[in-house]
Structure 1
Amino acid sequence: MLRAAFALLFSLPLSAAPLQILAIGDSLTEEYAFEIPFTAPVSDSTNANIRNWPELLRIFRASEADLGLPYEGTVLSYPDLRDGGHPLNFGIPGFTITDWRTIINTSSYPNPFDSDFFLLLSYYETRLSLIEQIPNADVVVIFLGGNDLKENYFNIFAGTESGNYYSNLVEELRDIHDFVFTQDSTIPIVVCTIPDVGATPQLYNSYTDPIMAASARAKIAALNQDIIDMVAEENAKAGHNVDSAVARIDHLTDRTFDQSPFQLNGSYFTLEGDPENPPDRVFARDNFHPSTVAQALITNEIMEAINEAAGTSLTPFTDREILANLLGLDPDQPFLDWIDGYTVADTSMTGDSDHDRLPNIVEMALGTPPDQPSSPISGNWLPTTGLTWTPDPLAADYVDLFAEESTDLDSWDPVPQSRLLEDNGTMTASPPVGPTSHFGRLNALPR
């Protein structure tokens, strides 16, 4: 009986251990729990209320990935530059790419009589700890450069940076990448592009000349392309049997520049920080570090790059998950705000108080009122005409409209893209050519 029980136990599938991620970074990577005051509200200055990407993985993807255990919750838990937190998290606030290159090159015990002895000793100890921990990792993430750009943004903006400034940053990143590769040539490596710090309110509101700002943005975009090219060059070298990947952190700062207002599924956010770090702010109260919503998008970019480099299946956060679980917001707030502007008996998405056969969610998507009958869909479900409608552009951030067709009013399929026509914001869906009996409809769902 005992032998049968053991056989049953070992025949059961074992759940995979969480992916172990080692991070080389700065304050964007060190756990925000250790980065008070800017991560805590003014009203409770000892308790951080925003989270960064290692913390989001630990809290919301614990079964998939973490940065090592046990998590040390007290400061000075490690004999090096790490404050605490995960043992595989080498996020050191304030450090630049150049600082990290100095760490990996501090390969001998410093001279005790050197005026910088204690600093060099901390570099030496950090390098030893890094070398010790790399074999415990399944993938390494290198996320640096924000401090480099911040320190030099005046010159970047003014066009007075040195001629080799950007190429030096790329080569120093290459050195860090190659250091990791030298320690373990089988470990996948993710190199992050550098966030454009000009998108932060701290700098955006100080450097306002539009022509110079556009020039600075273009130079940082070119720098990130050089980083992408550098990783491709490393992958092409002999002996690189495991390709490195790039996490496009610059996608977030591009979005900060270009999306106005910043939104997830129609829930709008304010870029500027607030003393209380509320969940609807993109930046922390220091107006430089990304808040939880931005860090969630950073986490997605990192997870997708890890999946590419390591062949894993880490699950990115959906917009609705970010809103509901990470931020504690109602992802359907756009609909609730819209329906609140009308007096109707049934305020649900499927309600139809005006009896025009358009559910409230479709009324919202088409920009028609739910309290009086309307006919926003024209035409007939015939090959020569089709159905025509005009989506409301504001509602489109929150709700998706789908043209669907059926032969039996029971099973519905999307109308193929080849039979959808858009003309100045107006959509037309046409039925298939032929005698088959078809029905057409519009369906709407929250994103």
Structure 2
Amino acid sequence: MTPLRILIADDQPSIGEFLAEQLRSSGHQVNVVTSGEAAIQSCQECLPELILMDLEMPGIGGLQAIRQIRKLTREHWIPIIVITGSDDEGDLLQGFMAGGDDYLHKPVNPLLLEVRMRAMMRIAGFHRATEAIVDNIIEGIIRIDTIGRITGFNKAAEKIFGYEAKEVIGNNVKMLMPSPYHDEHDTYIGNYLATKDAKIVGKNRKVQGLRKSGQIFPMRLGVSEISSSDGLSFIGLIKDLTDEEALQQQIEFQATHDQLTGLPNRYLARQHLAERFAPVDKGERPLPCSFFYCDLDGFKQVNDHYGHSVGDEVLCVTAKRLKSTLFVRDFFARVGGDEFILIVDGAIRDEQALQIAERLIEALTAPIRSSVSEHPIGVSIGISHSGNYDNPTAMVNAADAAMYWAKNNGRNRAVIAR
């Protein structure tokens, strides 16, 4: 069994050193102090794994020292053996009530001391193993009492929330919650204790947490009720969802956007247009919008002569120029190699549609410079209005046909489907 770090507090140096000699001979690391004040100070500097505490000392006595040490070490259980020369059962009871775990009578019998040490070493070994498991679990574990005070906070919880355990132990757990959870938490516990209506306990749900930095983040929370000899408590198992949600958002973005330009792709364009025609299923007319089918002029020559890497440069600049002429609310997407579409919501007249198309054409008036040369690029545009069609496919096909008419009749122009 692993030797322990032991603190002995006894105002009689001869007794303290006698006990220390016995314990050091068994390999334990021992620190001896002669007052309750020194015992508290020693615990603040370096936590022991076992304390032998004399009850009767001048100044801060053993009972008061035990109480203060228990407050200092809420997040760690340290076994405390009370040492007393009194046979008064009341003194022993007070020692246990203050936080003592066992006792030895003076003069201390070396054999009994050895027996107590072996028992405490077994308990400490089990406790170390349990703490190691809890601290190495990747999920955060928080233990609270029935009034919401934090009584346990593992290493993963420290990493998730940015607090050290000593900063949160004894505080209300709502310090880790943003509104509205912060404002309603005490009510949750009170309602559960009064009614046992498990709206939170025994559930696993997504909520928000609040880091020390003030950052609000998504997390998965599962709460369990634990009943022990110390009373009722609650264990919260926490998983930080920040990276998971960021990855999910990245996957969703890649599935719905063009990787080269960052614009929405064909899938999202179809979905957007389908939403405009959704009322048709209810016997209503589609939502008013206009569809612009844009195909670049002169881009094939860039790809054929300079290669796809230069072509990609030209596409990125082209996309930025075209998008810069539009309103934020306008839906602009890349749906093919050199094909772009624009959906403008609302009922607009032909003259307004042609004005929008003219802005797109003018955006490409100046040649586009790549890493190797300048490239004259134009755009042919076909336009259709939703009010003239019963389904999105017909609307797209009409704009597509108008675009090809524009391309075959002079290029770099816009035509409205008839």
TM-score, with length taken from structure 1 = 0.25
- Structure with the bigger percentage of helix: 2
- Structure with the bigger percentage of strand: 2
Q: State which structure, 1 or 2, has the greater radius of gyration over its C-alpha atoms.
A: 2
RCO greater where, 1 or 2, for CA within 8 Å and sep 6 or more? 1
